[in-house]
Amino acid sequence: MKQKIIDSSKCTGCKNCELACIVVHSPNEDLKQAYKDGSIAAIRARCKIEETTDGSLFPEHCRHCQEPQCAQACMSGALSRNEAGYVVCDTDTCVGCFMCVMSCPSGFARPFIGDKRVMIKCDGCTERDCAACVENCPTGCLTLGDCDGQEDTVVYIDPPKAREAS
């Protein structure tokens, strides 16, 4: 299984990961068009840059937990682990109750109210060769690889210190 490896010591806070995520999840996957048609405002990044108590920045991503509380809380069964190891949402099955949003300890199951009320979260860009956030990280903070002995889908190297309250 390819794991998303995050070395927070290399993060500059450029937000390329956020922008790449927004673009890849826009209807036409084109930045200019997304801005032109206004869809950029409606689409939320599945990752975000956070600030620690000491002022350093780091990318925050869904952990794709081994025992995902979001999936356990999902009454419709829309959340499941795919063959790549990512916890994903079947938006056709999702009923928009947002129990997953309330139960996610990391805050990465997020509500999306568009044509249909559904939750959104990182899907690992499993339909692509490489996750958009990883592909567009200029510092090498985000990479894909295999971490021996680690079962988690997202692995932190140099884990971030405690976050400030948002």
Question: Are residue 56 and residue 73 in the same domain, yes or no?
Answer: no
Q: What pLDDT score does 166 carry?
A: 45
Question: Are residue 77 and residue 114 in the same domain, yes or no?
Answer: yes
pLDDT of 1 above 60: no
Burial class (CB in 10 A: 0-12, 13-18, 19+), 79: buried
Question: Are residue 18 and residue 44 in the same domain, yes or no?
Answer: yes
Residue 163 three-state SS:
strand
Domain limits for position 161:
1-61+125-166
Question: Are residue 163 and residue 117 in the same domain, yes or no?
Answer: no
Q: What pLDDT score does 54 carry?
A: 84
Decide which of 71 and 32 is more confident: 71
When pLDDT is cut at 50, 70 and 90, the band that residue 160 belongs to is low
pLDDT of 165 above 60: no
Question: Are residue 26 and residue 67 in the same domain, yes or no?
Answer: no
Q: What are phi and psi of 35, to 5 degrees?
A: -70, -45
Question: Are residue 31 and residue 52 in the same domain, yes or no?
Answer: yes
Strand partners, 52: 163
CA-CA distance, 90 to 100, in Å (whole number)?
A: 13
User: How many domains in the chain?
Assistant: 2
pLDDT of 163 above 60: no
- Mean pLDDT across the chain: 84
Question: Are residue 56 and residue 66 in the same domain, yes or no?
Answer: no
Question: Are residue 102 and residue 135 in the same domain, yes or no?
Answer: no
Decide which of 72 and 83 is more confident: 72
What digits encode the pLDDT tens for the residues 74-131? 999 999 998 888 899 999 999 999 999 999 998 889 898 777 899 989 998 988 889 9
Question: Are residue 49 and residue 7 in the same domain, yes or no?
Answer: yes
pLDDT of 25 above 90: no
Mean pLDDT of 131-149: 87
- CATH number of the domain bearing residue 157: 3.30.70.20
Question: Are residue 32 and residue 6 in the same domain, yes or no?
Answer: yes
